[in-house]
Structure 1
Amino acid sequence: MPPQEEWYKVNVDGAVFKELGCCGIGIVIRNERGELMGAMSRKLGIPLGALEVEAKAFEEGLQFAEDLGLKQVVLEGDAKGVTDALMGSSSPPISIQMIIEGIKRQKYNALVWKVNHVSRIYDMAAHLLARNAQFVSDSVVWVEETPPFIELQVSKDVFGLDFCPV
């Protein structure tokens, strides 16, 4: 579902590249009409586990939204353990406890946020960006433009998830 008017949807995902000893983060930010406000592919040069990189993706997504000057966001990802911890419905595992606490502190800054768990099929654009991170040296950011390799997925999302076409 699209976010409410004046809210932005921030889809995040993480990927582990064991063979490279690093991991990647993908972030896609859209408005209520499905228009892409920003996207990011970021490589983290540290070997995190799956849960840890997913938590970092939420943290990076929130920071990216704040960097873009957005005030109200809905964070979405497919890592149930992370979304449950952020919603307060479960205690975070010790490996992500500091990240979760840091994200929760952001709620008291100028940024207002909510969190939803979604299945991977609704998080594919962010997943593709996370997988792409293995090919970048640090990070690549797109603002108000769509990375060519996710254009088809973004179009499917807009027309398949009740976004109002522009």
Structure 2
Amino acid sequence: MQQLVAWEKPSRVFVKVNCDASLDIKRKRMRIEIMIRDGEGEALVDVCDHKTNVGNATVTESFALRKVVELYLDLNIQNAIFEGDAKGVIEAVHSEDEAVFDFSSIIEDVKFHFRIRTDWFLQFATRKKNMIAHTLAKKALEMVEEQVWIEEVLGCLFGDTNCNT
């Protein structure tokens, strides 16, 4: 029997962010998807962003995690659980060793913020648990500029004509 894997709600005092990135290797374009949900699972904020001249999936996922950190700093969000499916990137952030990759400066920047923010937690989530962010990141490959939605998230991304973007 196949066991269903689903997104898990955080406790009421935490918000949870799921992030993912998609890479179009031919065009060297990446898209980042960040979804912030409250303890009830309600979408609070959704951000789609992009970068050009990126050709490596690990660098793409590192940029996505740094974008999440920047967003949380801008919004001054506390008590946050970050989930992503880039296991190698998450392990690099958790490692006490200095990062020695093509993307070391990105990882070291993210590490710094997680060290000083003791109310932020970073954890690996399987692709199945991170499926909404993964699906939306692929959808975001079609977008040409950063877009931010507050509360009316999923309808906007899937063609709801009543959305304000």
TM-score (norm 1): 0.80
Residue 31 (structure 2) pairs with residue 24 (structure 1): yes
Residue 69 (structure 2) pairs with residue 62 (structure 1): yes
Deviations 1:62-102 (A, max 9, x none): 22223333112111101110111122277645122211110
Deviations 1:17-62 (A, max 9, x none): 0122211111111111101111111111222310011111111112
Deviations 1:106-125 (A, max 9, x none): 23556831111011011111
1:13-162 equivalent positions in 2, closer than 5 A: 13-88=20-95, 92-107=99-114, 112-148=119-155
| Change over 3 Å in CA distance of 1:90–1:117 after alignment to 2 | farther
Q: Which residue of 2 aligns with 1:162?
A: none
* Rg larger in structure: 2
Which one has a larger percent helix, Structure 1 or Structure 2? 1
User: Given residue 127 of structure 1, which amino acid in structure 2 is its aligned partner?
Assistant: H
Between the aligned residues of both structures, percent identity stands at 26
CA contact (8 A) 1:44 1:138 kept: no
| Change over 3 Å in CA distance of 1:93–1:127 after alignment to 2 | farther
Give unpaired runs (5+ residues) of structure 1. Answer: 152-166
In 2: Cα distance, 1:131 partner to 1:67 partner: 25
User: Given residue 132 of structure 1, which amino acid in structure 2 is its aligned partner?
Assistant: K
Q: Which residue of 1 aligns with 2:3?
A: none
In 2: Cα distance, 1:22 partner to 1:63 partner: 20
SS in 1 for 2:53: coil
In 2: Cα distance, 1:7 partner to 1:60 partner: 19
Give unpaired runs (5+ residues) of structure 2. Answer: 1-7, 159-165
TM-score (norm 2): 0.81
Pairs aligned (count): 151
